[in-house]
Structure 1
Amino acid sequence: MLLSEQWVLVTGGARGLGQAITRALAREGAGVVVNYHRSEAAALALAEELGPRAIALQADVTDAAAVQSLFAAARERTGAGISAVVNNALAQFSFDGDARPRLGDIAWERFSQQIEGAVKGALNTMQAALPGMRAQGFGRIVNVGTNLFQNPVVPYHDYTAAKAALLSLTRTAANDLGPDGITVNMVSGGLLRTTDASSATPEAVFDLIASLTPLRRVTTPAEFADAVLFFLSPWARAVTGQNLVVDSGLVKD
């Protein structure tokens, strides 16, 4: 299915990386359901800017009932339903290495919050998407990961553990859903220059990371978004269960 024929749900799609993914999809003619939790003003403004092929819908992705209602509302509004999901929503987190809790004092509640946001959120959207995807024999799911579990240059214990678990879910889901014509993949970035979550990162850290990459620069949200589009497009129709690292060549997976 061409991107222009799809309605794609982007969780956390109004801000930061999610907004870059939403804009990239709209640029290619896809319909976009911009999911938001608390960023109502940003989501409504973005949908209005992008036109009739973009709608903003609220839901906390960790709430299974709210996600089911989101999908029902999307079907009612679009007349077609959601054919692809990008699980981008990030539980409250800031990439600030100086302020992060160390292993000796980090509380389990921080792990739980990140696992709920990453793994439970993705599970809820996948389960809500399955009936519609199975009915049409087509579906695309892209989970947003991180290169930190290959290269924990800054040990964000909670965030990294949650994304590693999400990669496992990506691969088991790909095996389970492949016979239904549904692919499940992950795109993993490093530090992105710049999003809301990375805004606390000192410029010196960005510059250091840039110096270590073959491209000598830090990946932007727009560059990351283009890689997400690959997995949603017909070009990736035979690709599933994969983790594509998009970080200007820093990590070799």
Structure 2
Amino acid sequence: MQDHAIERTNETSSRTPSSGKPLSETTVLVSGAGRGLGAAIARAFAREGARVAINYRRSETEARALAAELGPRCAAFRADVADPQAVAAMTDAIAERLGPPDVLVHNALADFAFNGDARKRLETLAWADIAAQVQTAVGGGLALVKALRPHFAASGYGRIVTIGTNLVQNPVVPYHDYTAAKAALLAFTRTAAKELGPLGVTVNMVSGGLLRVTDASAATPEAVFDIIASQTPLGRVTTPEELADAVLFFASPWARAVTGQNLVVDGGLVFG
């Protein structure tokens, strides 16, 4: 037993940690990238020269227009990320067209509108409301990770970035279903980081606040944006483009020793 333990230790210590890849040499899969924040993330990676797979579920027109805008190193792929078979077929298509994804950004969101006046209160909230959000956030994340894990294992390298929310730390508006799903996704991010680390894969989360403006935040009254801005040290509401730049960090070689972390990008509204 002791000899085997020594052999395993020597084998592990002989491996050279991956320093990461330049973004220009990566293939990136962004779920829910047809519009809003996902589109901003796709543009950010394309700007850095990455090959970008733009996943969409219903926003085909927007996704294909974005792919055309970003050029021949980008393409649109349809799949409901909550459907493991569709995800597996999509990742095969991406590998054939752009190469196996090195980077996964799980941004896909079940249908949701940030309107505090119209949100469901506890007296009307049903488990089905929470389950629908969890199915896309965590179920989608699981399907994507399982589809990409064989490539990560074969290459000894991978980067996964999930998209969360600062409402987990500061539920200023109690969107029960959405926030519960994102909290579960944070837990999944950290447990996945623990299991995938030996494969050379880092898993981190970037959590935004209210963004000006995405389709999901289009229903938010202007007065709410003003209140958020007034309470933020930077004096303004974060944009999708600013949050996208933080995602680039976790996918870059600069973050090669960072995993299992949650970076809140909201202009300092929430500390810690």
State the TM-score, normalizing by the size of structure 1: 0.99
Alignment map for 1:174-189 (pairs within 5 Å): 174-189=193-208
Measured after TM superposition, the shift of residue 186 of structure 1 is 0.1
Unpaired segments ≥5 residues, structure 2? 1-20
Residue of structure 1 equivalent to 2:22:
2
Unpaired segments ≥5 residues, structure 1? none
Residue of structure 1 equivalent to 2:46:
26
Residue of structure 2 equivalent to 1:130:
149
Alignment map for 1:22-171 (pairs within 5 Å): 22-78=42-98, 80-171=99-190
- Provide the C-alpha distance between the structure 2 equivalents of 1:50 and 1:104, rounded to a whole number of angstroms: 46
- Provide the C-alpha distance between the structure 2 equivalents of 1:102 and 1:81, rounded to a whole number of angstroms: 43
Residue 7 of structure 2 corresponds to residue 15 of structure 1: no
Size of the alignment, in residue pairs?
A: 252
Residue of structure 2 equivalent to 1:205:
224
Residue of structure 1 equivalent to 2:191:
172
Measured after TM superposition, the shift of residue 216 of structure 1 is 0.7
Runs of 4+ off more than 3 Å:
none
State the TM-score, normalizing by the size of structure 2: 0.92
Measured after TM superposition, the shift of residue 134 of structure 1 is 1.0
- Provide the C-alpha distance between the structure 2 equivalents of 1:155 and 1:146, rounded to a whole number of angstroms: 12
Q: Secondary structure at the match of 2:72?
A: coil
Measured after TM superposition, the shift of residue 104 of structure 1 is 1.5
Measured after TM superposition, the shift of residue 14 of structure 1 is 1.3
- Provide the C-alpha distance between the structure 2 equivalents of 1:100 and 1:107, rounded to a whole number of angstroms: 12
Residue 225 of structure 2 corresponds to residue 215 of structure 1: no
- Provide the C-alpha distance between the structure 1 equivalents of 2:168 and 2:25, rounded to a whole number of angstroms: 35
Q: Secondary structure at the match of 1:214?
A: coil
How many percent of aligned residue pairs carry the same amino acid?
Answer: 65
Root-mean-square deviation (CA), in Å? 0.5
Q: Secondary structure at the match of 2:167?
A: helix
Alignment map for 1:205-244 (pairs within 5 Å): 205-244=224-263
Measured after TM superposition, the shift of residue 62 of structure 1 is 0.2
- Provide the C-alpha distance between the structure 2 equivalents of 1:149 and 1:179, rounded to a whole number of angstroms: 29
Q: Deviations over 1:149-198 (max 9, x none)?
A: 11000000000000000000000000000010000000000000100000
Which has the larger Rg?
2
